[in-house]
Chains A and B, each alone.
Chain A
Amino acid sequence: MLLNELKVGDQAKIIRIADDVFRTKLLEMGIMQGTPVTLMLRAPFNGPLAFSYENTLLSIRYEDAHSILVEKMNMHQ
């Protein structure tokens, strides 16, 4: 599924980031294949969303989140 399809509180692992430039930018920040993320906030009207990884809460736009493929993790895993 895509990152923008997650619900608040869902945990997921990054599988693939389709957009080249975006992938490099996120990689520089330490977000890459296998990074676990938790969706924390969604702005109204399909506005930006914020996910946490490591100790950071990072917000990206809904459309950009569309290029991030994730795998939802079971809460107890």
Chain B
Amino acid sequence: MKIALFGNPNTGKSTIFNLLTGLRQKIGNFPGVTVDKKSGVLQLDGAEHELIDVPGVYSIYPSNKEEKVVYKLLVSSPPQQRPDLGIMVADASNLARSLFFFSQLIDCGLPLVLVINMNDIAEKKGIRIDTKALQQAFSNTPIVFMNARVGLGKDRLLAAIKRQIAEGKHEQIKVSNSLKNLDDLLGQEEEATQRQAYIGKTLQHTVSVTKTSVRKNNLDRWLTHPISGYLIFSAILFIIFQFVFSFAAYPMDAIESGFGWLTQWIKSVLADGPLSALLCDGIIPGISGVLVFIPQIGILFFFIALLEDSGYLARAVFLMDRLVRPFGLNGRSVVPLLSSMACAIPGVMATRGIPNYKERLITIFVAPLMSCSARIPVFTLLIGLVIPKMKLFGIIHLQGLVLFGLYVLGIVSALFIAWIMHLLLKQEKRSYYLMEIPEFKRPLWRNIFLTVFEKIKVFTTEAGGIILAISIVLWALASYGPSEQRNAAIKSLKETSAYKSKTLAEKEGLKNAVLLENSYIGIVGKGIEPLIKPIGYDWKIGIALITSFAAREVFVGSLSTIYASGDNDNEFNLHNKLKNQKNPDGSFVFSLRTGISLMVFYVYAMQCLSTLAVVKRETKSWKWPMLQLVAFGAMAYLGGWICYHVF
């Protein structure tokens, strides 16, 4: 049986969904649209039913793209796709508003269960609901009182669902004659008036208010104050970033060293050969490259879910909306964009909360321009190479200033591109920002845990496959090449007198450099030299650019291999090696202008296949990630060219 869970936003619908399904949730697609469909398994007396978590809305008539799925599910989809039973979650403090949508569900002819949630809070506010009178008004719908946050009333709800599965009774009344077409605005307004009159009449003798409670806004005034509001928001973000950077490093190191250990072990039991190479250098690093993102995703979503569940996020959105609106962004874009400064992957995944599709798309599109933590090793290496260690005005470190400038360049560019997209992209309909600011609540750990779990699961199962596949292809291209060419190159290397005088480890390094040079990627890297010469790069840098498409930080490792610095872990060694590299004409390879050109290149270039995979997953199309790849690539090239010619 197909059961749908309906409700207004902020009525505790997700809490009830989590309560009923636990870990047995999955993310799919609503047919024909690009909106995620969250569903789970509800087990009742051994039978399994599909429970669909329908987006929270106030009315069946949508005010944005995502909300269209509700209308579609109930009215315009083929009957076999429609739910057999609906559970409507109503907030006891706002029964009238919930009954609006409920009355539309009644008119769909759907058997229903009405959950009145958070009655304890309503009673504290002096709102009393006459259960009998309400049950009389909706005689065919079981009405269940719940306090879902503490798990109270779950058994009653299950019993009501069982009853409705057995009986399948729907209300006989019709509040409005028929549901209107989506574009029939006048009809919808008329219908809404009719429904409100009906609700007013129904609730007249059902809900009584014994005292008038005045909502206090002292705390909210501080949180949205022009000075303290921004200060508190910055402080919270600062704390989150501290946690992401300091805590994520331990599990990330553990994952990488764990897989490193596994590789060593396989190498020790498996004979050298293509299978061992595929496992140890292709597949295992590929899996490790997917899993290594989990700590960052987990920690960031832990905090985002905490902010959301407690109610603070709505205040932050309220505070930030005005600042980002000129760029076509929404107040809800701010946390995803700032999260992207740790890693664009959770940033892109966090855009789910942006109700307007155009604003969400713009946020996803520009998120990779925010400088993420994977750029740090590239930037620090290059800054150390080409920016002199000196102080300006005696206090400002020039190197630090350049790093800061690169971050600012990323942010300014993101806003600029957002603004351009805002001008270019058409809005299908006027959008409204109508957001309820919920009261503060003690966060519910189960909800937070399930959010973190869901995000990690979606990333590993849906983006992980693409990342793994492409990284194996990249590995193969970097480790294989035309064998004749490679053998000849190795042979001529061995004959040089310089090679013969080297130690064993140094010989190994030189061999690896020659092998990479003569791999498929090396050949491509050499092939693109005419293309990258104008922006100041030689073919060795070209190879590092291509390999670092897997992930930006690979740039450092590839340079290390190609320049045969021998010891990958010794940055000092690599630094000196690179510093002394000379072009055939005797000039230094890493000159100031090449270095700056490369840094600007890395500010823009879409050098992260994991981000591309996640953007594909979130936009459900290859169109947007491909556009990012091309557009940011062009910006990187142009930026690099300008820097190379200016400096």
Q: A55: which B residues are within 8 A, CB to CB? A: 93-94, 122, 125, 127, 213, 215
The answer to whether B433 touches A43 (Cβ under 8 A) is no
Q: B436: which A residues are within 8 A, CB to CB? A: 56-59
Q: A42: which B residues are within 8 A, CB to CB? A: 224
Q: B321: which A residues are within 8 A, CB to CB? A: 43, 47-48, 61
Instruction: Answer yes or no: B432 CB below 8 A from chain A CBs.
Output: yes
Q: A27: which B residues are within 8 A, CB to CB? A: 189, 192-193, 196
Query: For B314, B318, B331, B429, which residue has the most chain A Cβ atoms within 10 angstroms?
Result: B318
In the complex, A28 Cα to B221 Cα: how many Å?
28
Contact of B319 among A43, A54, A56 (CB under 8 A): A43
Instruction: Answer yes or no: B420 CB below 8 A from chain A CBs.
Output: no
In the complex, A38 Cα to B122 Cα: how many Å?
20
Within 8 A of A (CB), among B87-132: 93-94, 96-97, 100, 122, 125, 127
Q: B318: which A residues are within 8 A, CB to CB? A: 41, 43, 47-48, 50, 59
Closest CB in chain B relative to A40 CB, distance in Å: 5
Q: Quick one: given A43-B224, A55-B94, are A30 and B196 in contact (CB under 8 Å)?
A: yes
Instruction: Answer yes or no: A18 CB below 8 A from chain B CBs.
Output: no
Q: Quick one: given A30-B196, A50-B318, A54-B97, are A20 and B185 in contact (CB under 8 Å)?
A: yes
In the complex, residue of chain A having the shortest beta-carbon distance to the beta carbon of B435: A59
In the complex, A14 Cα to B370 Cα: how many Å?
43
Instruction: Answer yes or no: B59 CB below 8 A from chain A CBs.
Output: yes
In the complex, residue of chain A having the shortest beta-carbon distance to the beta carbon of B195: A28
Within 8 A of B (CB), among A2-58: 8, 20-30, 32, 40-48, 50, 52, 54-58
The answer to whether A32 touches B196 (Cβ under 8 A) is yes
Q: B319: which A residues are within 8 A, CB to CB? A: 43-44, 47
Instruction: Answer yes or no: B633 CB below 8 A from chain A CBs.
Output: no
Instruction: Answer yes or no: B58 CB below 8 A from chain A CBs.
Output: yes
In the complex, A44 Cα to B436 Cα: how many Å?
18
In the complex, A56 Cα to B121 Cα: how many Å?
13
The answer to whether A24 touches B322 (Cβ under 8 A) is no
In the complex, A64 Cα to B100 Cα: how many Å?
23
In the complex, A55 Cα to B436 Cα: how many Å?
11
In the complex, A46 Cα to B318 Cα: how many Å?
11
Q: A26: which B residues are within 8 A, CB to CB? A: 434
Q: A45: which B residues are within 8 A, CB to CB? A: 226, 322-323
Q: A61: which B residues are within 8 A, CB to CB? A: 321, 432-433
Contact of B96 among A22, A30, A44 (CB under 8 A): A30
In the complex, residue of chain B having the shortest beta-carbon distance to the beta carbon of A42: B224
In the complex, A64 Cα to B186 Cα: how many Å?
20
In the complex, residue of chain B having the shortest beta-carbon distance to the beta carbon of A55: B93
Closest CB in chain A relative to B318 CB, distance in Å: 5
The answer to whether A21 touches B433 (Cβ under 8 A) is no
The answer to whether A30 touches B437 (Cβ under 8 A) is no
Contact of B432 among A25, A41, A47, A56 (CB under 8 A): A25
In the complex, A52 Cα to B229 Cα: how many Å?
20
The answer to whether A44 touches B322 (Cβ under 8 A) is yes
In the complex, A68 Cα to B433 Cα: how many Å?
14
In the complex, residue of chain B having the shortest beta-carbon distance to the beta carbon of A52: B215
In the complex, A50 Cα to B314 Cα: how many Å?
11
In the complex, A48 Cα to B331 Cα: how many Å?
10
Instruction: Answer yes or no: B571 CB below 8 A from chain A CBs.
Output: no
In the complex, A50 Cα to B220 Cα: how many Å?
10
Instruction: Answer yes or no: A73 CB below 8 A from chain B CBs.
Output: no
In the complex, A50 Cα to B125 Cα: how many Å?
20
Closest CB in chain B relative to A61 CB, distance in Å: 5
Closest CB in chain B relative to A75 CB, distance in Å: 12
Instruction: Answer yes or no: B61 CB below 8 A from chain A CBs.
Output: yes
Instruction: Answer yes or no: B430 CB below 8 A from chain A CBs.
Output: yes
The answer to whether B323 touches A40 (Cβ under 8 A) is no
Closest CB in chain A relative to B189 CB, distance in Å: 5
Contact of A30 among B100, B122, B213, B322 (CB under 8 A): B100
Q: Quick one: given A24-B192, A30-B97, are A41 and B217 in contact (CB under 8 Å)?
A: yes
| Per-position binary interface string of chain B over residues 569-602, scored 1 when its CB falls under 8 Å from any chain A CB and 0 otherwise | 0000000000000000000000000000000000
Q: B226: which A residues are within 8 A, CB to CB? A: 44-45
The answer to whether A25 touches B63 (Cβ under 8 A) is yes
Instruction: Answer yes or no: B34 CB below 8 A from chain A CBs.
Output: no
Q: B59: which A residues are within 8 A, CB to CB? A: 25, 28-29
In the complex, A38 Cα to B189 Cα: how many Å?
24
The answer to whether B58 touches A29 (Cβ under 8 A) is yes
Instruction: Answer yes or no: A60 CB below 8 A from chain B CBs.
Output: yes
Q: B439: which A residues are within 8 A, CB to CB? A: 57
Closest CB in chain A relative to B201 CB, distance in Å: 14
Q: B61: which A residues are within 8 A, CB to CB? A: 24, 28
Instruction: Answer yes or no: B288 CB below 8 A from chain A CBs.
Output: no
Closest CB in chain B relative to A47 CB, distance in Å: 3
Given contacts A43-B319, A44-B226, A59-B434, 4 further A-B contacts (CB under 8 A): A23-B189, A25-B58, A28-B59, A59-B437
* Residue positions of A touching B, CB distance < 8 A: 8, 20-30, 32, 40-48, 50, 52, 54-62, 64
List 22 interface pairs A-B (beta carbons < 8 Å), by A numbering.
A8-B221, A20-B185, A20-B189, A22-B432, A24-B192, A27-B196, A29-B58, A29-B100, A29-B434, A41-B217, A41-B221, A43-B319, A45-B323, A48-B318, A54-B96, A54-B97, A57-B217, A57-B439, A58-B435, A59-B434, A60-B434, A62-B322
